[in-house]
Structure 1
């Protein structure tokens, strides 16, 4: 289980998010939505989680296999329309990789933990305390 805490005071839409290990991230809304654009929007954080998880998963796998993967660049677009949300993830793999290795890394990208969470049924329970 991961327990994230977030809080907002009176400053318009500045949200402080804390991890169990003490790391802090600031989220905010863009100026056009009344925020100050001092951090990622909540939806940007969601897309960032998929991008970061993909990068880490591919790096770990390539390291374990001793493959010559020099760089992983991931771009994620989140699009909402007609009641459907679509994440488009673009992978750029740099290094001396053959087609079989590249295909395997694509499969591994689709198995990163955040990808699995986002593609499985999700339940959100909200408790007022």
Structure 2
């Protein structure tokens, strides 16, 4: 059996698009915006995808800075997802903005930018993926 690195379960019981999400012991909620039929009771699935990338970058930069004992006060990452048809490349594109405040010189800031680009979710999203969906019957 292959090693599973992440897991989530989603369940919708008919309340429009509002969907309960279970990740280990954590309960989350997803929905869609009203302009596409949702009720905006939670982030949209694509927002969670941006959230995964943003939080991974923040955590990776924090871990690196702590290991180096660099004085970093705040790490903020904003991620926007743009559909491929909106981009000249034709590729879906994650636009990421990294802001780090603390006592850092230019070389340290540049290194943290490189480290942010090496976070596991960034690497995962940068490679082709296969999605296998099966129907489970009762």
Quote the offset at 1:84 in angstroms. 2.0
Is there any run of 5+ residues in structure 2 with no aligned partner, and where?
none
C-alpha RMSD of matched pairs (Å): 0.9
User: TM-score under structure 1 normalisation?
Assistant: 0.95
Asked whether 1:88 is paired with 2:59, we answer: no
Residue among 68, 74, 96 paired with 1:65: 68
User: TM-score under structure 2 normalisation?
Assistant: 0.89
Asked whether 1:124 is paired with 2:128, we answer: no
- The number of equivalent residue pairs is 128
Please identify runs of 4+ aligned residues in structure 1 that moved more than 4 A: none
Quote the offset at 1:17 in angstroms. 0.9
Deviations 1:17-73 (A, max 9, x none): 1112x1011000001111110100001110111001111111111111100111001
Residue among 3, 18, 22 paired with 1:18: 22
Is there any run of 5+ residues in structure 1 with no aligned partner, and where?
none
Deviations 1:98-119 (A, max 9, x none): 1111111111101101001100
Higher share in strand = 1
Residue correspondence of structure 1 range 94-113 to structure 2 within 5 A: 94-113=101-120
